[in-house]
Structure 1
Amino acid sequence: MRTEDVGSRRAVRDPFKKKNWKLELWSWTKTFMIVFIIAIMIRGFMFTNYIVYGQSMMPTINDGERIIVNKIGYEISQPNRFDLIIFHATEDTDYIKRVIGLPGDTIRYENDILYINDKPHDEDFLNQFREELNGDILTSDFTLEDITGELNVPEGHIFVLGDNRQNSIDSRQIGFVPMEQIVGRANMAYWPIQAFRLF
């Protein structure tokens, strides 16, 4: 049987204690580096943020608001009708607009009503603007052929409009948007904080 005199036990110094703080510091440094690299990858390849300039998407998105754009979604799927998208309009300018026409669609507006393939479509996202206009026409009449010379949206392209139809440069002026020019889909507005919302 083994006995121990507790009163005479001496404190033994842990030879690893000195090294522990260095290991802990290295562990935290590695963690921060990994988080930083992941953040760069997410920022560069999956999501990005934009500041919206101008009034072409009012009242959905206002001048000066900051938005998050999902860049990876359209790598694995196609845009859906009424998505809010960012695309390269010129070499140094990106636009945000709403997808109205998909490949193969015929588009026309008549009496402020959208017709896609001769079927009327509600644009509920325009209700607030219509109320503010007190019955004025928001979208002037046109057909796809009138403004583009095409009967249908070509393959590999989309037709886009700004929500502020009276003050927007969109497919009525610049024509169809090639799919490869799309940066991504706008997911949320995050600034100013009181205007935070998902799209």
Structure 2
Amino acid sequence: MKKEILEWVMAIAIAIILIVVIRTFFFVTYTVDGLSMDPTLQDGDRVVVNKFMDNFTDYEYPEVVVFDSDMGPAYVKRVIGTPGDEVEMRDQQVYVNGEPLEEDYVVHTGESYMDNFTLSDLGVEGDVIPEDHYLVLGDNRPVSRDGRDFGLIHEDSIVGEVQLRFWPLNEITVNF
């Protein structure tokens, strides 16, 4: 009887250690809060974020990332501009290095605050995004609090890339 109890305790301890290691170094889950990524991600969706790859790769357009914010809980946004990019928005169209982005995921309602911006409007010195910084925007631009509000984010604040939506079950999606 003691041997069986000891085996159960060991199995539970190993499971807890594995969960802690996985959550600390590899993957973590987040709940989407708000409508800023609609229609890609809706309020209440549950996603898995890959923290492991953060150590080996740079983020690129159009990856969806989670990052920590000084303004409250973590945000989920899409990478639009990367280090070295020149970015601006004219007439609700984003241009990166002079080329318009194909953004079929963006909600266009004809209204948006701050329709036009340049990097200098976001507090960037110079014409390009500096090293270790990214411009992120929400897909639902009329309601999104994003880089237009708080400027560029530093790569150290990025938790990781969203790899999987697992809730609701009828909308499971891998890689956005």
Superposition TM-score, scaled by structure 1 size: 0.77
1:145 corresponds to:
120
1:50 corresponds to:
30
Stretches of structure 1 that go unaligned for 5 or more consecutive residues are 1-20
What residue identity is the alignment partner of 2:143? N
Match of 1:80 among 60, 82, 99: 60
- Whose strand proportion is higher, 1 or 2? 2
1:41 corresponds to:
21
2:170 corresponds to:
194
Stretches of structure 2 that go unaligned for 5 or more consecutive residues are none
Aligned residues: 173
1:125 corresponds to:
105
Query: Once structures 1 and 2 are overlaid, which stretch shifts more, 110-119 or 157-166?
Result: 110-119
- Whose helix proportion is higher, 1 or 2? 1
1:184 aligned onto 2:164:
no
Percent identical pairs in the alignment equals: 35
What residue identity is the alignment partner of 1:165? R
Aligned CA distance change for structure 1 residues 97 and 196 (closer, same or farther; 3 Å): same
RMSD (Å), alpha carbons: 2.2
1:70 aligned onto 2:45:
no
Superposition TM-score, scaled by structure 2 size: 0.86
| 8 Å contact kept, 1:148–1:172 | no
| Mapped partners of 1:185, 1:75: distance in 2 | 11
Per the TM alignment, residue 44 of structure 1 is displaced from its structure 2 partner at its CA by 2.0
1:174 aligned onto 2:154:
no
| 8 Å contact kept, 1:113–1:122 | no
Larger radius of gyration: 1
| 8 Å contact kept, 1:102–1:153 | yes
| Mapped partners of 2:103, 2:111: distance in 1 | 14
Q: What SS class does the counterpart of residue 128 from structure 2 fall into?
A: coil
